[in-house]
Amino acid sequence: MPNALAYLMLLAWPLASLYLFRRLPLERAILWCLIAGYLLLPPLAEFDLPLVPDMDKFAIPSVMAFLLCAYVLRKPVPLLPRHPVAKALAVLFVFGVIPTVLTNGEPIQFRKIANSEPIIFLTDQLPGLRWRDLGSVIINQVIVLMPFLLARRYLSTPEAQRELLLALMLGGLAYTVPSLIEIRLSPQINIWVYGFFQHDFAQMIRQGGFRPIVFLPHALWLAFFMMSAVLAAAALSRAAQGKDRLRLALAAGYLFAVLVLCKSLASLAYALAFTPVVALAPLRWQLRAALLLAVIAVVYPMLRNTGLVPTEALVAQAEAISAERAQSLNYRFENEAQLLARAAEKTWFGWGGWGRNLIRHEETGQILSIPDGRWIIVFGTFGWLGYIAEMGLLAAPLFLLAAAARRAPRGSVSPYAAPIALILAATLVDMLLNATLIPITWMCAGSVLGYAERLLYPDLFRPKPALFGGAQALMPDSAGPEGRSIL
């Protein structure tokens, strides 16, 4: 149970966000509002307000960054991408939930039949979705997209992308201190500060030691953030000169050492595979690697639905590394199979919220399956329509950047765009196993998309010429080519 400080932190974050936007340049304010909120705010604590989504450590920073940018600083935040494919996916992401709500009006009931006589008892039920839920679901989709829209507009220049990588690296370096404390003493910091432990403590024990979690939902999320910080530091070191290159390389090495201590095989594998690519490979090879990962992430659920994924061979391969890893992977595959069978009953639009997509005991309603991968959660909740919208909106920037980079003159592509694309692509692959989709992921996707659109449309975000002659030849940036920002 979160203590009073946990809720006080959530209440205070709008004021902290306002301070950031008043004191820092716009790009840094957006970055630290989102990243610091993710790293510092309490997990699980939330404000359950009527008719709107729950306000938690993900929603509050996203909403505050958007509102402060659009309505306090009066900076335009275009609501739709310029590229037609990205624009269609954004519209589908927000409004594609409508058929899900409309086709799930019936409650799911759990009944118990008495053995002695044919009497049926209603033991519990999950409510159906109503018209009033439609507004909440759409608002939630809009909130999810806010970091994406902000990053597309303001974190898509080479200078802003360097700031993004720098923020990831500095956030990772700062988080190494509490992480090392928890590695040594056991995960206790969230208990000390917010009064509760946010997950199953047994999952924090690995290889005779502890995995850190600090204020994040799971140790796997912390390890993945450390991996992102390693790639960011490697990219900054490659682009730096002189003593800065050495300092950044040492930072990357230190972050990698902490990542090893986090004891997460997947994140460590990502770092081992992609750090040399970021540090040494040409940008076009980095983009090709990101594209390959995106294709794997998009195609895997389709192959899984048709039974073409060799799950037994993958488990056997994992067993050669570790019996514990093989058991974990096999458990995930078994849960996927059960949830896919459940999702097959409503393939196109899914089951909607309230946990209706989960496997439950037919009498008690107890949850019998645990969804791990983000893709299976989205597929079961919103069906193929929701999966295509979400995964398409996250993967499309990688394809558009690769296409734009091929057309751009050699040497003109930002050295920071490809590393961000690789971090995004690694997240897409990790989402096959874990629900690691966070505002930072959407921020990376928006940054990549915005940069790709800047290459494809050179006039994007340029101020329009004044309609009438006068002393001012150009209109101010606050009235950009895509109009004023509205919710």
Tens digit of pLDDT for each residue in 365-418?
777 777 788 988 999 999 999 999 999 999 999 999 999 998 888 878 899 999
Q: What is the pLDDT of residue 300?
A: 87
**Which pTM does this prediction carry?**
0.90
Query: For the chain, which residues make up each domain, given as ranges?
Result: 83-105+286-487
Q: What is the pLDDT of residue 319?
A: 75
Read off φ and ψ for residue 330, nearest 5 degrees: -65, -35
- Show Cβ contacts of residue 106 under 8 Å, excluding neighbours closer than 6 positions: 128
Q: What is the pLDDT of residue 147?
A: 97
Q: What is the pLDDT of residue 119?
A: 63
- Tell which residue, 242, 201, 168, 189, has the closest CA to residue 441: 168
The neighbour count for residue 5, using CB atoms within 10 Å, is: 14
Read off φ and ψ for residue 130, nearest 5 degrees: -115, 175
Strand stretches in 257-318, DSSP E:
none
Segment 264-268 long-range contacts (CB within 8 Å, at least 24 positions apart): 264/211, 264/219, 264/220, 264/223, 264/224, 265/321, 265/322, 265/325, 266/220, 266/223, 266/224, 266/430, 266/433, 266/434, 267/220, 267/223, 267/224, 267/226, 267/227, 267/430, 268/223, 268/227
Q: What is the pLDDT of residue 278?
A: 95
Q: What is the pLDDT of residue 19?
A: 96
**pLDDT tens column, 418-453:** 999 999 999 999 998 888 899 999 999 999 999 999
**pLDDT tens column, 349-366:** 988 887 888 888 777 777
How far apart (Å, rounded) are the C-alpha atoms in residues 321 and 266? 12
Which residues of the chain have a pLDDT value below 50?
A: 466-487
Residue 185 vs residues 9, 214, 224: alpha-carbon distances, Å:
25, 12, 21
Q: What is the pLDDT of residue 481?
A: 34
Q: What is the pLDDT of residue 117?
A: 58
